[in-house]
């Protein structure tokens, strides 16, 4: 229960994010069941967001899965950090893994001696709120007539821009953001598939960032980072 | 069908990443830790630019909306407010004068 309520302040960010995701997913042509299934089975905000947009552009399943992988592989870092501080055996390890998100990692990493019950409470809290927000947004999305004419497809790039801006704090981060934006635009003009530009740009941009910051010390995956980088 | 196949793939790579970290007992090389830090930045930027123009020849006013969103996001860090500001700017400019 303490884990459940420890994450409550973060609901404030999760609820609008979940609603916007569901509206975009419905706009992209996904049914209510499909929109909700992504929240139940994948449970990863930014990956679900990008998948919704990619479904709308008719991207291949492979492109969507690769983009998801690229966005979610950072969880390896969280797991490595949590695994050193918490003993998880038997059913506890896959359970903890299934519901792991940036927010939960951030909150649990800030605890001096976290226990499994706290971790699971925080995880289930976020899972519940994310899915309720998805459900609400899915029905809200259905109530909007003719989204294309209203220009509602603009919500998609705007949402990612709003997620991107707070992440950019250093010069290297700014260079990567601008270079990636330009690269993706150029590739998108040359190809028709929505998934390819994202994956190619994601890898190229991240390599650029890692190279630009070479020689600098790496900190342990930080609380602040985890909270900034939304589910 | 494509949807459910894609969903299955998404579940595999997402759960796989989450599980691998908890199961492994190694250190990632520093280069790849830094690489992972930049992934959301590069991917989010790549998701903005290709769909910003739109198909209806409204590229310019959509760009103004994006500027409004970026400014509000920078000041408030609020997703909801940022999107609202961008859409409002876009809709206001759309009204034929």
Chain A residues within 8 A of B29 when measuring between CB atoms: none
> What ipTM describes this predicted complex?
0.88
Select from A20, A78, A158 the Cβ nearest to the Cβ of B86. A158
CB contact under 8 A, B6 and A65: yes
Kindly report the length of chain B: 97
Task: Please tell me the number of Cα atoms within 13 Å of A201 on its side-chain side.
Answer: 30
Distance CA A216, CA A91 (A): 39
Which member of B21, B38, B66 has the closest CB to residue A79? B21
Q: Does A70 touch chain B (CB under 8 A)?
A: yes
B87, B65 contact by CB (below 8 A):
yes
User: Choosing among B1, B19, B35, B42, which should be mutated to test the A contact, i.e. which has the most A CBs within 10 A?
Assistant: B42
Q: What is the pTM of this model?
A: 0.79
Chain B residues with CB under 8 Å of A41 CB are 7, 10-11
Question: Per-domain residue ranges for chain A?
Answer: 2-228
**Residue holding tokens 């390896």?**
A76
Whether B69 sits inside 8 A of A100 (CB atoms) is no
Give the nearest partner residue to A197 out of B46, B77, B78, using CB atoms: B46
> If you ran DSSP here, which 8-state letter would residue B49 be given?
G
Residues A39-77: pLDDT tens digits?
Answer: 999 999 889 988 998 888 878 888 899 999 988 888 888
Q: pLDDT (tens digit, 9 = 90+) per residue, A17-32? A: 898 899 889 888 899 9
- A208 contacts B14? CB cut-off 8 A: no
**Residue B27 DSSP SS3:** coil
Among A136-140, A169-173, A225-229, which is the least confidently predicted range? Answer: A225-229
Distance between A117 CA and the closest CA of chain B, angstroms = 16
User: pLDDT class for A128, splitting at 50, 70, 90?
Assistant: very high
């Amino acid at each position: 229960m303490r884990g459940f309520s420890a994450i409550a302040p973060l609901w404030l960010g999760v609820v609008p994010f979940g609603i916007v995701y569901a509206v975009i997913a419905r706009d992209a042509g996904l049914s209510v069941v499909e929109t909700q299934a992504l929240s139940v089975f994948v449970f990863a905000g930014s990956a679900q967001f990008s998948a919704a947009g990619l479904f709308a552009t008719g991207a291949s399943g492979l492109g969507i899965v690769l983009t998801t992988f690229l966005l979610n592989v950072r969880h390896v870092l969280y797991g490595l950090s949590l695994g050193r501080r918490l003993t998880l055996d038997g059913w506890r390890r896959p359970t903890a893994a299934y519901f792991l998100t940036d927010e939960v990692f951030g909150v649990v990493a800030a605890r001096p001696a976290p226990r499994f019950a706290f971790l699971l409470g925080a995880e289930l809290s976020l899972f519940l709120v994310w899915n309720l927000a998805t459900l609400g947004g899915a029905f809200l999305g259905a109530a909007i007539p003719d989204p294309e004419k209203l220009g509602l497809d603009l919500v998609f790039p705007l949402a990612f821009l709003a997620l991107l801006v707070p992440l950019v704090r250093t010069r290297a981060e700014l260079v990567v953001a601008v270079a990636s934006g330009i690269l993706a635009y150029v590739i998108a003009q040359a190809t028709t598939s929505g998934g390819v530009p994202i994956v190619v740009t994601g890898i190229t941009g991240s390599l650029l960032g890692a190279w630009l910051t070479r020689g600098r010390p790496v900190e342990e995956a930080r609380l602040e980072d985890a909270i900034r980088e939304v589910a | 069908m494509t949807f459910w196949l894609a969903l299955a793939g998404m579940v595999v790579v997402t759960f796989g990443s989450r599980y691998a970290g908890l199961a492994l007992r190694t250190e990632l090389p520093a280069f790849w830790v830094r690489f992972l830090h930049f992934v959301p930045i590069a991917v989010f930027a790549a998701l903005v630019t290709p769909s910003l123009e739109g198909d209806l020849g409204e590229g310019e006013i959509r760009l103004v909306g994006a500027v409004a969103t970026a400014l509000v996001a920078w000041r408030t860090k609020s997703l909801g407010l940022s999107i609202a500001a961008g859409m409002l700017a876009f809709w206001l400019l759309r009204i034929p004068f």
